[in-house]
Homo-oligomer: A and B are copies of this chain.
Amino acid sequence: MAGPTIAFLVFDGLTPLDFVGPFEVLSRLPGAFTRIVSPTGGDILAAGGRLRIGADVALDEIDAADVLVVPGGPGARTLMHDDAVTAWVARVAAGARFTASVCTGALILGGAGLLNGREAATHWAARPLLAEFGATPVARRIVDHGSVLTAAGVSAGIDLALLLAAHIAGEDVARAIQLRIEYDPQPPFDSGAVEKASPAIRDLAATVG
């Protein structure tokens, strides 16, 4: 049996972990066929130009996937208003079993009309921006609407991808992937959620973006 085709949108201004967290998990699904999709098919520059990542295909070379993953990053604030990108996301999402965003990738799903009237997760600092797309931001790690899922910021894509892996291939496979990537998190600090961080840490966080 053929495994799932999983398309990952990548773009200039991507936050690398938004993409690589889910890629690391989902590319391990049995038979997974991954497609890294950039607007032009060329390499993209992530992390403020510090990291170059190759793409497999351009937007106009692929119009279907079983799973579509849309990561975020500063570039998402441009793409959410880019008609070619949002139309592509809407088209692929219409035929996909699952469409998932990480971080400000939710803004691109919003631009594609996928979050209208729905609760959604995104990076805590971007929550107010969801209103433009008729979505209600919620302070949750993952919001699962069945075919459309949204995750909170950056590292939340790993949690979302494990949930997706279970939806696609069953809980045992998801657990096996979790073990393989030794995802037994032990953060040395506990300031990973805006509700837990002090005002001083929140201010400082604006400088490490």
Contacts and interface: CB of A to CB of B under 8 A. Distances in A.
Interface stretch (A12-20, A92-100, A107-115, A128-136): A12-20
Interface string A156-174: 1011001100100001111
Interface string A127-164: 00000000000000110000000001111101100110
A110 B47 CA distance: 30
A50 B30 contact: no
Contacts of A156: 182, 184, 186
Interface size class of chain A, counting residues whose CB lies under 8 Å from the partner chain: 35 or more
Contact of A52 (B54, B172, B181, B197): B54
B158 A185 contact: yes
- How many identical subunits does the complex contain? 2
Contact of A189 (B162, B192, B205): B162
Contacts of A176: 191, 201, 204-205, 207-208
A23 interface: yes
A155 B185 contact: yes
28 contacts: A20-B21, A24-B154, A27-B50, A28-B208, A30-B208, A36-B51, A124-B179, A124-B182, A152-B184, A154-B181, A155-B158, A155-B183, A155-B184, A156-B184, A159-B185, A162-B187, A172-B201, A174-B189, A175-B204, A176-B205, A176-B207, A178-B187, A178-B189, A179-B192, A179-B194, A183-B185, A184-B196, A185-B192
